[in-house]
């Protein structure tokens, strides 16, 4: 199983039906991305709301998880609310979404929601496209036979353990250090992967550099990566 990068794009178009006067319409782009690697653990792909006309709201919540053979499963819901204001919890229609996206095969999906109740006529159309590609993190090639697992602990002012997040092990990769929401990894060939992680230690994005002839990465801090050359130059 490889690490997958899953993206969703599309549009939500919604209409607040008015008995008097003209109907009100809004639309908004849908855009979300998640990197998933651990089977069975869903990650948030997109979570958004679109309000229209002062009375209608559309909520779209989707999570993604990896299945066997690099297939990913998208699960969640699209909901249409209509009431006294856009924060109303008066649910008029709902569509449960559960689809599989095959690796390298974009898939489109459409949902139509309608308020068919008294005073209804409100509706929403949701058009989505999902992609499921191999994440080029370089951390999974060669399998999981070597490398080190890291556990990033969150601690309070007194140093007491609050929570933790584990990553790896990834073949050939060693974590060098953590600073400012970044984990710096070094590969045995001396190229690096700088991970941006959120407050829970979850991977948000990453950037790879190198390898550069003769240079060995040492650490990351304050927006800078420190490299050491075989003849003992340093570079910031
Ligand atoms: Ca209305
Ligand atoms: Ca209105
Ligand atoms: Ca209503």
* Averaged pLDDT for residues 46-51: 97
Pick the closest to residue 113 from 123, 105, 121 (CA basis): 123
- Residue 54 lies inside a defined structural domain of this protein: yes
Strand-pairing partners, residue 10, are 30, 128
What's the confidence (pLDDT) of residue 100?
Answer: 97
83 and 107 assigned to the same domain: yes
User: Domain boundary residue among 105, 134, 163?
Assistant: 134
More confident residue, 111 or 140: 111
Q: Looking at the domain assignment, is residue 145 inside a domain?
A: no
CA distances 23 to 91, 131, 161, 233, Å, are 20, 34, 54, 68
Region 23-51: what's the mean pLDDT?
89
Mean pLDDT of 102-121: 93
Note the ligand closest to the C-alpha atom of 122.
Answer: 1
107 shares its domain with 14: yes
Q: How far apart are CA 185 and CA 168, in angstroms?
A: 11
Tally of domains within the chain: 2
Q: How confident is the model at residue 148 (pLDDT cuts 50, 70, 90)?
A: low
In a domain, 170, yes or no: yes
Position 187 scores a pLDDT of 82
Residue 139 domain flag: no
| Mean pLDDT for the stretch of residues 8-21 | 94
Q: What is the pLDDT of residue 140?
A: 39
Residue 121 shares a structural domain with residue 181: no
Average pLDDT, the chain: 87
| 63 Cα to the center of ligand 3, angstroms | 27
- Which one has a higher pLDDT value, 169 or 178? 178
CA of 85 to the centre of ligand 1 (A): 9
Q: Which domain holds residue 154?
A: 150-235
For residue 193, give the CATH number of its domain: 2.40.10
Answer whether residue 144 shows pLDDT above 70.
Answer: no
Please tell me the number of the ligand nearest to residue 123's CA.
Answer: 1
188 and 127 both lie in a single domain: no
- Which ligand ends up closest to the CA of 92? 3
Specify the range with the lowest mean pLDDT, choosing from 46-60, 69-83, 139-153. 139-153
Predicted model pTM: 0.61
Q: What pLDDT, on the 0 to 100 scale, is given for residue 65? A: 93
Please check whether residues 127 and 38 belong to one and the same domain.
yes
In a domain, 160, yes or no: yes
Confidence of residue 118 (pLDDT cuts 50, 70, 90): confident
Instruction: State the distance from the centre of ligand 3 to the C-alpha of 49, rounded, in angstroms.
Output: 17
Q: In 3D, which of 88, 7, 79, 73 has the Cα closest to residue 40? A: 73
* Residue 164 CA to ligand 1 centre (angstroms): 47
Res. 146: pLDDT tops 60: no
Q: Are residues 26 and 122 in the same domain?
A: yes
Q: Which residues surround ligand 2, an ion (CB under 5 A)?
A: 16, 53-55
Cα–ligand 2 centroid distance for 101 (angstroms): 37
- Is the domain of 73 the same as that of 157? no
- Please give the distance, rounded to the nearest whole angstrom, from the Cα atom of residue 10 to the centre of ligand 2: 25
* pLDDT at residue 233, as a whole number: 66
| pLDDT beyond 70 at 110 | yes
Cα of 166 from ligand 1 centre, angstroms: 48
pLDDT of residue 232: 63
Dist. CA 98–CA 108, nearest whole Å: 13
């Amino acid at each position: 199983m490889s690490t997958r990068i899953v993206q969703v794009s599309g549009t939500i178009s919604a209409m607040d039906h008015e008995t008097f006067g003209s109907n009100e319409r809004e639309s908004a782009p849908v855009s979300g991305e998640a990197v998933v690697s651990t089977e069975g653990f869903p990650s948030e792909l997109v979570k958004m709301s679109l309000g229209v006309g002062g009375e209608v709201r559309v909520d779209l919540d989707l999570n993604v998880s990896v299945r066997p053979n690099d297939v990913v499963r998208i699960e969640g819901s699209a909901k249409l609310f209509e009431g006294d204001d856009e924060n109303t919890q008066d649910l008029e229609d709902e569509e449960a979404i559960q689809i599989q996206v095959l690796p390298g095969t974009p898939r489109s999906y459409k949902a139509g929601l309608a308020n068919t109740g008294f005073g209804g006529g409100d509706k929403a159309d949701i058009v989505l496209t999902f992609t499921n590609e191999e994440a080029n993190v370089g951390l999974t090639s060669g399998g999981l036979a070597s490398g080190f697992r890291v556990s990033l602990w969150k601690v309070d002012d007194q140093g007491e353990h609050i929570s933790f997040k584990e990553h790896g092990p990834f073949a050939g990769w060693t974590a060098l250090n953590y600073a400012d929401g970044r984990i710096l990894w070094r590969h045995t060939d001396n190229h690096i992967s700088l991970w941006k992680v959120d407050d829970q230690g979850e991977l948000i994005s990453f950037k790879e550099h190198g390898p550069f002839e003769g240079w060995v990465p040492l650490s990351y801090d304050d927006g800078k990566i420190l490299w050491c050359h075989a003849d003992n130059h340093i570079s910031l």
